[in-house]
Amino acid sequence: MDAQPAESPAELLTRTAAEVFGWKTLRPGQLTAMEAVLAGRDTLVVMPTGAGKSAVYQVAGLAMAGPTVVVSPLIALQRDQIAGLLGHGRPDAVAVNSAQRSGETQAAWDAVRHGEAEYLFLSPEQLAKEEVLDRLAEARPSLFVVDEAQCVAAWGHDFRPDYLRLAHAVRRVGRPTVVALTATASPPVRAEIVRRLGMGDDAAQVVAGFDRPGITLEVRRFAEEADRRRAVVERAAAEPKPGLVYTATRRDAEEYAAELAGLGLLAAAYHAGLRPSERSRVHGAFLEGRADVVVATSAFGMGIDKEDVRFVLHASLPGSLDAYYQEIGRAGRDGGPALAVLHYRPGDSGLRRMFAARTPGEETLGEVAEAVHDQEGPMGLDEVGEETDLSRRRVTAAANLLEQAGAVRTDDRGRVRAEPGVSAGAATERATRAAEAHRRLEESRLAMVRAYAESRGCRRRFLLGYFGEEYDAPCGNCDVCLAARSPDPARGTPAEGVAEAPETAAGPPAASPYPPGTPVRHREWGDGTVMSEEGDRITVLFDSMGYRTLSLPTVTTRNLLTVRPEG
């Protein structure tokens, strides 16, 4: 009797998804990423929120020998992911984090050692501990998964210095296959993720479309703050629930929540200034359907796994389109219609520029560097603050930049110490350059948000172009396209007390010598990458200057850009 033909990787993965998780079909991109992982290739997965990124490692990990290590930045997010896995009955998943009792931690390690746990969730801080790395090396993991991978990129809007240790951790535990997951990453951020994590030259990049066609995009522009506040409250009260309102400050979050509660809505504020127990209460109430609206700062972000959010309103300008896309991506994950409205007032940019300018200056960086270098052993950040008479916020910001510049290192207890061979002066110089580059980038990101708000072209085309994805306008589901199809003065008025922005062509532009993704060089600003086109303008992300929007006719006639070889 002839032997049965061997199961192909695709068949194995599809069968595992169906038998273990009950997924009869896999979404676009999932199987492609799983096959790359199963073949032993490091893989970067970029998929919108709710598109099933976690399924890539969940399924592929079961088809490989050894546990899957998942690095996740939030304990609440770890708990949600573990609960989702355990809901299938098997496989087992455990976590090791600072919120556990010692007995729970030991039980988790025992489960890994005895092969009872398929998945181990860790925070990046745990990987600074030698004992943790030793135990992981003994477990011989098959996969090393980095969730929220944009945190490793200094160019990313969620940069976290503790993610910089992950490449070392990967090597230390035996160099398993690396899987990096993110919901939002422009091409330069993707390249930095691959580099920072030490992913292989043949690393696969699976980038699903960024478009969320079910979300209606809208911008409303205001001259007066009172008009805007009234519009935000009225819209939040009128739209189907549940929904989210994002604000720039903690005070605004509290005030908007109070106004909505005064209208009889179940509304709550969420921000980093609340006690952990209160944040946990609000988080739970929203996920369990006991809150109509949560009014939050950007602190209400990762870990929001709720499918039926019907609207996301921004009561002020977000700091970047990266953050904006990630925040509106929490709407309509169930496939139903959803709404994203940016309430824009030109004066917002002054506040956001102030936030961007908070990057520590050379004097602050020098004081922190001197204090750390004068100490033989590690220093706590509070100690540094006492030594320098600087606030905790300024010390933390300076320490982050010094670590990003490779001048100091943070241990698992959050203490900093100088890197050997780097003087305080050299550390200050490196960090000052990094700070200036960071400031320029933040200001250019803010300019892109304002350009989005003031654009008279298709919103979706502009937003997707920012992430390097071409889109043929009109989309038919943004305020600009809907107004062009059937003008409705009640829908997102072009301006409320503000002059209209210049008209921009809504249709696709003529062929350009600089299509998105083209590596270019500017005579003054150096190397960059073309991110998008809109009409007769192109947007370039320069390595040293951040985002810049240029007139295509001017670029062409003055020969400002040259196409440079890739690599």
Q: Please indicate whether residue 389 or residue 487 has the higher confidence score (pLDDT).
A: 389
Average pLDDT, the chain: 85
Q: What is the model's pLDDT at position 360?
A: 81
Choose one of 418, 442, 466: the last residue of a domain.
442
Last residue in a domain, options 442, 457, 484: 442
**Residue 102 is encoded by which pair of tokens?**
């010692």
Residues 107 and 181 in one domain: yes
Q: Looking at the structure, do residues 70 and 140 belong to the same domain, yes or no?
A: yes
Based on the fold, state whether residues 74 and 177 are members of the same structural domain: yes
Are residues 53 and 176 located together in one domain of the fold?
A: yes
CB atoms within 10 A of CB 327: 22
Q: What percent of the chain has pLDDT over 90?
A: 38
Predicted confidence (pLDDT) at residue 413 exceeds the cutoff of 70: no
pLDDT score for 123: 87
What pLDDT was estimated at residue 495? 42
Average pLDDT over residues 237-251: 95
CATH of the domain at 378: 1.10.10.10
Same domain, 192 and 315: no
If asked whether residues 176 and 272 sit together in one domain, one would say no
Show which of 415, 442, 469 is a domain's final residue: 442
* Residue 519: cis peptide before it, omega within 30 degrees of 0: no
Q: Which residues of 123-153 are buried (b: 16+ CB within 10 A; e: fewer)?
A: bbbbbbeeebbebbeebebbbbbbbbbbbbb
Signed CA dihedral, 301, 307, 309, 314: sign only? positive
Same domain, 30 and 179: yes
**Would you say residue 404 has pLDDT above 90?**
no
Instruction: Tell me the sheet residues that pair with 341.
Output: 218, 313
Residue 132 pLDDT exceeds 70: yes
Q: Can you give the pLDDT at residue 492?
A: 45
307 and 182 part of one domain? no
More confident position, 545 or 527: 527
Residue 339: inside a domain, yes or no? yes
Query: What's the pLDDT band for 349 if we cut at 50, 70, 90?
Result: low
Same domain, yes or no, for 154 and 233?
no
Confidence class for position 494, pLDDT limits 50, 70, 90? very low
The string of pLDDT tens digits covering residues 76-128 is: 677 777 877 777 666 689 999 877 788 888 999 999 999 899 999 998 888 87
Label residue 396 by pLDDT band (50, 70, 90): confident
- With respect to residue 74, please indicate whether it lies within any of the assigned structural domains: yes
Please indicate whether residue 364 or residue 165 has the higher confidence score (pLDDT): 364
* Same structural domain, 523 and 431: no
Q: Can you give the residue range of the structural domain that contains 401? A: 362-442
Looking at per-residue confidence, does 413 or 287 come out higher?
Answer: 287
pLDDT at 382 exceeding the cut of 90: no
Instruction: Check whether 170 has a pLDDT greater than 60.
Output: yes
Lowest mean pLDDT among 26-35, 139-148, 248-257, 529-538: 529-538
Cα distances from 525 to residues 416, 477, 519, 528, 541, in angstroms, run 34, 36, 13, 8, 10
Domain shared by 222 and 200, yes or no: no
pLDDT for the residue numbered 230 = 97
Pairing verdict, β 119-122 and 93-96: parallel
Tell me whether residue 55 is in a domain: yes
Amino acid letter for position 398: A
Got the DSSP string for 348-378? Answer: HHHHHHHHHTTS--HHHHHHHHHHHHH-SS-
Mean pLDDT in residue range 393-407: 83
pLDDT digits (tens, 9 = 90+) for 199-234: 988 999 998 878 889 999 999 999 999 999 999 999
Are 145 and 57 contacting, i.e. CB atoms less than 8 angstroms apart? yes
Assign residue 277 the CATH number of its domain. 3.40.50.300
Q: What is the pTM of this model?
A: 0.77
**pLDDT at position 443:** 82
In a domain, 484, yes or no: no
pLDDT of 524 above 60: yes
pLDDT in tens, 172-207: 999 999 999 998 777 778 888 999 899 988 999 998
Asked if residue 390 is part of any domain, the answer here is: yes
What's the confidence (pLDDT) of residue 83? 76
pLDDT top residue among 40 and 500 = 40
pLDDT for 532: 77
DSSP state of 414: S
Q: Do the Cβ atoms of 245 and 366 come closer than 8 Å?
A: no
Residue 273 is assigned to a structural domain of this protein: yes
The answer to whether residue 484 scores a pLDDT higher than 50 is: yes
* Residue 540: inside a domain: yes
pLDDT attached to residue 309: 96
Q: Taking 80 as the threshold, does the pLDDT of residue 432 lie above it?
A: yes
Percent of the chain with pLDDT over 70: 88
Q: Three-class SS of residue 400?
A: helix
At residue 509, does pLDDT exceed 60?
no
End-to-end CA distance of the chain: 54
Q: Tell me the β-bridge partners of 269.
A: 295
- Answer yes or no: do 13 and 82 share one domain: yes
Instruction: For 261-318, give the secondary structure using H, E and C.
Output: HHCCCCEEEECCCCCHHHHHHHHHHHHCCCCCEEEECCCCCCCCCCCCCCEEEECCCC
Within-domain flag for 452: no
Number of structural domains in the chain: 4
- Res. 510 pLDDT band, cuts 50 70 90: low
Residue 252: band (very low, low, confident or very high) from pLDDT cuts 50, 70, 90: very high
Supply 273's token pair: 């200034």
Check residue 80 and give its pLDDT. Answer: 75
Which residue would you say has higher pLDDT here, 534 or 41?
Answer: 41
